[in-house]
Amino acid sequence: MSTRCHVATRKGLFTLERGRSGWAIGRTAFLGDNCTIAMHDPRSGDLLVALNHGHFGVKMHRSRDGGATWQEIATPTYPEKPADYVPKTPVEGSPPDWSLKLVWSLAPGGADEPGVIWCGTLPGGLFRSGDGGDSWELNRPLWDDPLREEWFGGGADYPGIHSICVDPRDSRHVVIGISCGGVWHTGDGGQSWQTAGSGLRAEFMPPERQFEPNVQDPHRVAQCRANPDVLWVQHHNGIFRSTDAGASWQEFTGVQPSVFGFAVAVHPADPDTAWLVPATKDEKRCPTDGRVVVNRTRDGGRSFQTLRKGLPQEHAYDLVFRHALDVDETGERLAVGSTTGSLWLSEDGGDSWQTLSSNLPPIYAVHFEQ
């Protein structure tokens, strides 16, 4: 059972630790800095964080002593744009700049490839490190794919890779989620990439284009560790699941109070159990009726239970971003962080919640150590 949880916020990194008397903030780092994502590497014990300094750009830091000290490491850098390069016009917006805007996702490679870390960014580049973050290389097969140029921003000016799922059975099999570029996967460690199969639906597109894989806006993709063929997606306009590694998708409609949201987490041992944090779609983006709730299914999406014990049920306008819901390796401990700085934890699979703080900076990500 995890006893540490890292909370990446607009104003720094906060580390929760569980002692005998319960959870408390044990450590604060980078106070004042915009910390967009944090990752614990269970293979090495390393901690990685990405900072986004408004003036000085994106920077990466690593700790090799559990967060006591940090060192700045290499930042993923886009290659020089060829002088004769003529970009395609994407579906929406302008062609992306070849310059790092945000580190949006970090994921350790497989157990058999120590040092490998995947890094998803805005404006749509996927980077790989083979040395724990000392250096990074843009994955060119994906970046150079003509379909990549059709990606567009969802809530941001540029497209971004927010989800990276490395198959525990085969490290060469990696699934990624892009807003907006759908779900893609590689079976050869990133040498070639394909879009996921049919079934995802983009309500925001003209009818004849709604089922195109490359225009989808999966807000978050979560993979079941025990059954990696099962993928859950909280999509811009719905909840989807695949049981065949993304070859096909099933949509769950009518889920109350809403099918809109950003985050989804799946039980590491049970592919039928997943949690989502619904919000009123789409331009409002706040909890329905001012009540924060978590939806849980235990039967693969046939039914959803709305959990609210311990969560604010009056005049609460917390929004939970896509990385701000996490579950530990037992499936019992969950953490949820909000845009208004509320942080809740559950130790019973979401049945009940305790408030750790209502006064943190806006929370971007919560991440349990395994």
Which of 52-60, 111-119, 186-194, 299-307 is the region at the interface with other proteins (rule: CB under 8 A)? 52-60
User: Quick one: which of 162, 339, 291 has its CA closest to 236?
Assistant: 162
Which of 53, 88, 140, 284 contacts other proteins by CB under 8 A? 53
- 152 and 189 Cβ atoms separated by less than 8 Å: no
143 near other proteins, judged by CB under 8 A: no
What is each CA distance from 24 to 5, 220, 364, in whole angstroms?
A: 10, 28, 19
257: left (phi over 0), alpha (psi -120 to 50) or beta: alpha
285: left (phi over 0), alpha (psi -120 to 50) or beta: left
User: Quick one: which of 262, 238, 222 has its CA closest to 364?
Assistant: 262
Q: Cβ closer to other proteins: 72 or 348?
A: 72
49 near other proteins, judged by CB under 8 A: no
Which of 77, 280, 352, 358 contacts other proteins by CB under 8 A? 77
Which of 98, 143, 204, 317 contacts other proteins by CB under 8 A? 98
Q: Cβ closer to other proteins: 75 or 243?
A: 75
Q: Cβ closer to other proteins: 80 or 314?
A: 80
- x/- track of binding to other proteins for residues 206-225 (CB under 8 A): --------------------
59 near other proteins, judged by CB under 8 A: yes
Which of 73-81, 146-154, 229-237, 249-257 is the region at the interface with other proteins (rule: CB under 8 A)? 73-81
Long-range contacts of 20-24 (CB under 8 A, 24+ apart): 22/354, 23/345, 23/354, 23/356, 24/356
Looking at residue 143, the DSSP 8-state letter turns out to be H
> For residue 66, what are its two tokens?
């559990």
What is each CA distance from 264 to 233, 322, 327, 349, in whole angstroms?
A: 7, 7, 10, 14
Which of 44, 75, 305, 357 contacts other proteins by CB under 8 A? 75
- 214 and 203 Cβ atoms separated by less than 8 Å: no
100 near other proteins, judged by CB under 8 A: yes
56 near other proteins, judged by CB under 8 A: yes
Strands (E) in 123-192, as ranges, are 126-129, 137-138, 160-166, 174-179, 182-186
Which of 22, 42, 57, 87 contacts other proteins by CB under 8 A? 57
Q: Whole-number minimum distance, CB 155 to other proteins, in Å? A: 19
Q: Cβ closer to other proteins: 97 or 251?
A: 97
Q: Cβ closer to other proteins: 53 or 88?
A: 53
Q: Whole-number minimum distance, CB 368 to other proteins, in Å? A: 29
User: Quick one: which of 249, 250, 257, 291 has its CA closest to 276?
Assistant: 257
Site of interaction with other proteins (CB under 8 A): 53-57, 59, 72, 75, 77-81, 97-100
